[in-house]
């Protein structure tokens, strides 16, 4: 079980659809992340929010739009995706941003996204 909850678990969407991924944590963590993971690859950082402000955007295409409504919630809005965007999307949180001491990442179960 994970303390970071992601919904939905699976999502199939067409290239013209608009959908949103949701993530929630109640551990009091102040940093939240979106990662993308392709099969047999490591997680690839997309966005980082620290204290509810976007602090890192890893040059992600604008068809991915993150949102942090409050310190416990993180959304990823999807629009006009391409088939190559199909992947496992992982949300994570940590006490503080980055890989500092005593601030490991807690991952959610992920959303397995298929773009048709």
| Binding-site ranges for other proteins (CB under 8 A) | 2, 40-43, 45, 48, 55-56, 90, 97-102, 104-110
Q: What is the CA radius of gyration of the chain?
A: 13
Nearer to other proteins by Cβ, of 33 and 82: the residue is 33
CB-CB contact of 99 with 42 (8 Å): no
Q: What six digits make up the tokens of 105?
A: 């990442």
Q: Minimum distance from CB of 99 to other proteins (Å)?
A: 3
Q: Minimum distance from CB of 115 to other proteins (Å)?
A: 20
DSSP state of 86: -
Nearer to other proteins by Cβ, of 2 and 82: the residue is 2
DSSP 3-state of 64: strand
The Cα 108–Cα 62 span in angstroms is 23
Nearer to other proteins by Cβ, of 16 and 40: the residue is 40
Q: Minimum distance from CB of 22 to other proteins (Å)?
A: 16
């Amino acid at each position: 079980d994970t303390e970071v909850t992601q919904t939905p678990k699976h999502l199939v969407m067409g290239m013209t659809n608009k959908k949103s991924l949701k993530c929630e944590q109640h551990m009091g963590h102040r940093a939240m992340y979106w990662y993308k993971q392709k099969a047999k690859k490591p997680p690839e950082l997309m966005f980082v929010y620290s204290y509810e402000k976007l602090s890192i955007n890893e040059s992600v295409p604008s068809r991915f739009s993150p949102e942090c409504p409050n310190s416990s919630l993180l959304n990823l809005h999807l629009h006009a995706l391409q088939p190559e965007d199909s992947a496992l999307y992982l949300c994570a949180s940590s006490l503080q941003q980055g890989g500092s001491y005593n601030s490991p990442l807690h991952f959610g179960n992920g959303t397995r996204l298929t773009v048709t």
